[in-house]
Amino acid sequence: MRHFTSVHDVQDLNQLLKEAFELKKDPFKYEHLGKHKTICLLFFNSSLRTRLSSQKAAKNLGMEPIVFNINDEGWKIETEFGVVMDGDKTEHIKEAAGVIGRYADIIGVRAFPGLKDRTYDYSEPIIKQFIQYSGAPVVSLESATRHPLQSFADVITIEEFKKKERPKVVLSWAPHPKALPQSVPNSFAEWVIAAGYEVVITHPKGYELDPSFTKGATIEYDQNKAFEGADFIYGKNWSSYADYGKILNTDRSWTISAEKMKLTNDAKFMHCLPVRRNMIVTDEVIDSPNSIVLDEAENRTYSAQTVFKKILENLK
Ligand code: SN0
């Protein structure tokens, strides 16, 4: 593996899962692999789990992590080409990426979408420019359209908790006061489809995701019907893809409640976090024994560590 930006960078998902479980059992098995290697974790946006789990994963492999909140602490970065830089942007992404590539053996980048221009966001300018101009392997720490380390951790978690070979996994839209990216649901859909689960996506009309991420999933507009017999409920809000970046609905009848969970096959509740309590999910559900949100968060270390290990093995 050279870059990691989506499930398409994974040659063999079963093998990757095996390696993740090996690392979870014995996190320091490869503690010398990253000796004298540097990973730069670059954040254009906020983070809790991604930042901490990536640092921990890097340290478990013997790597030195440098964490840089570029928007708060760095020069303002210009990402457009051919512009006269006479405004507030000090440094071009071409030099910034090139410089970081001289310091780091691996670069992790988090850059959310602007949610204004769909074509621009879905062309993944930031992550692509880092790949092109840094000369280093690039790991997505959530890009405009995907959050692959989260989705990989989600699949690890489903594998740990599933009671049947092919569980029914339901991705449910839920209300939120802010316009959020489609990255987490896009990415979750493509990973759980690749894992071979029965995948159902439920959301109000107008919240259809880009169909290139959901091919192989069933779209069910009736949330109650979608929940019937589910083994896993994955709650998440996203803004509209069709009416790009817009909030079309804040209907709290979509909030994941104990009553809705009763329709399922004693399903586990999942969410990538951070989660807005009593908007996305009621206190009762997230505080119930069926909630596995902390297990998911714990597995972020092993999804990151597995990916960093694959990239390190490919460096030499
Ligand atoms: C991000 C998202 O993509 O939905 C990151 C999730 C890992 N979530 C948010 O930005 C939540 C913001 C909020 O105010 O609740």
How many separate domains does the chain show? Answer: 2
Strand order across the beta sheet in which 138-140 lies: 64-68, 38-43, 106-110, 138-140
Domain residues for the domain of 270 are 150-296
Outline where the chain has alpha helix (H).
13-25, 49-60, 70-73, 93-103, 118-122, 125-134, 148-161, 183-194, 211-214, 223-227, 258-261, 283-286, 293-315
Q: Are residues 11 and 139 in the same domain?
A: yes
Compute, in angstroms, the gap from residue 23 CA to the centroid of ligand 1. 28
| C-alpha separations of 143 from 38, 166, 245 in Å | 21, 29, 15
Q: Are residues 165 and 185 in the same domain?
A: yes
Q: Are residues 121 and 185 in the same domain?
A: no
Average pLDDT, the chain: 98
* Nearest residue to 228 via CA among 255, 266, 194: 266
Question: Residue 10's beta-bridge partner residues?
Answer: none
Give domain status of residue 160, yes or no: yes
Q: Are residues 113 and 239 in the same domain?
A: no
Q: Is 116 in the pocket of ligand 1 (CB under 6 A)?
A: no
Task: Tell me: pLDDT of 316 over 90.
Answer: no
Q: Are residues 179 and 309 in the same domain?
A: no
pLDDT tens readout for residues 186-211: 999 999 999 999 999 999 999 999 99
Average pLDDT over residues 95-113: 98
Q: Is 113 in the pocket of ligand 1 (CB under 6 A)?
A: no
| C-alpha separations of 222 from 104, 201, 247, 300 in Å | 48, 10, 19, 31
Phi (first) and psi of residue 168, to 5 degrees: -90, 120
Q: Are residues 236 and 131 in the same domain?
A: no
Give domain status of residue 250, yes or no: yes
pLDDT tens readout for residues 125-134: 999 999 999 9
Give domain status of residue 1, yes or no: no
Q: Are residues 131 and 84 in the same domain?
A: yes
Ligand 1 nearest-atom number relative to CA 180: 4
Ligand 1 nearest-atom number relative to CA 112: 3
| C-alpha separations of 186 from 32, 166, 218 in Å | 35, 20, 14
CA–CA dist 48, 274 (Å, integer)? 8
Q: Is 179 in the pocket of ligand 1 (CB under 6 A)?
A: no
Pocket test for ligand 1, best of 110, 140, 180, 277 (most atoms within 8 A of CB): 180
HSE, CB side, 13 Å, CA atoms: give it for residue 261.
Answer: 24
Residue-wise burial string across 235-259, b where 16 or more C-beta atoms lie within 10 A, e elsewhere: bbbbbbbeebbeeebeeeebbbeee
Task: Tell me: pLDDT of 107 over 80.
Answer: yes
Q: Are residues 116 and 203 in the same domain?
A: no
Q: Is 177 in the pocket of ligand 1 (CB under 6 A)?
A: no
Q: Is 34 in the pocket of ligand 1 (CB under 6 A)?
A: no
Q: Is 276 in the pocket of ligand 1 (CB under 6 A)?
A: yes
Q: Is 272 in the pocket of ligand 1 (CB under 6 A)?
A: yes
Q: Are residues 218 and 274 in the same domain?
A: yes
pLDDT tens readout for residues 260-284: 999 999 999 999 999 999 999 999 9
Q: Are residues 78 and 97 in the same domain?
A: yes
pLDDT tens readout for residues 39-91: 999 999 999 999 999 999 999 999 999 999 999 999 999 999 999 999 999 99
Confidence band (pLDDT; 50, 70, 90) for 236?
A: very high
pLDDT at 148: 98
Structure tokens at 187: 């990415």
Which residue's CA is the closest to the ligand 1 atom numbered 14? 178
pLDDT at 257: 98
CATH of the domain at 114: 3.40.50.1370
Q: Are residues 142 and 169 in the same domain?
A: no
CA–CA dist 40, 51 (Å, integer)? 11
| The model's pTM | 0.98
Compute, in angstroms, the gap from residue 273 CA to the centroid of ligand 1. 8
Compute, in angstroms, the gap from residue 236 CA to the centroid of ligand 1. 9
Q: Is 279 in the pocket of ligand 1 (CB under 6 A)?
A: no
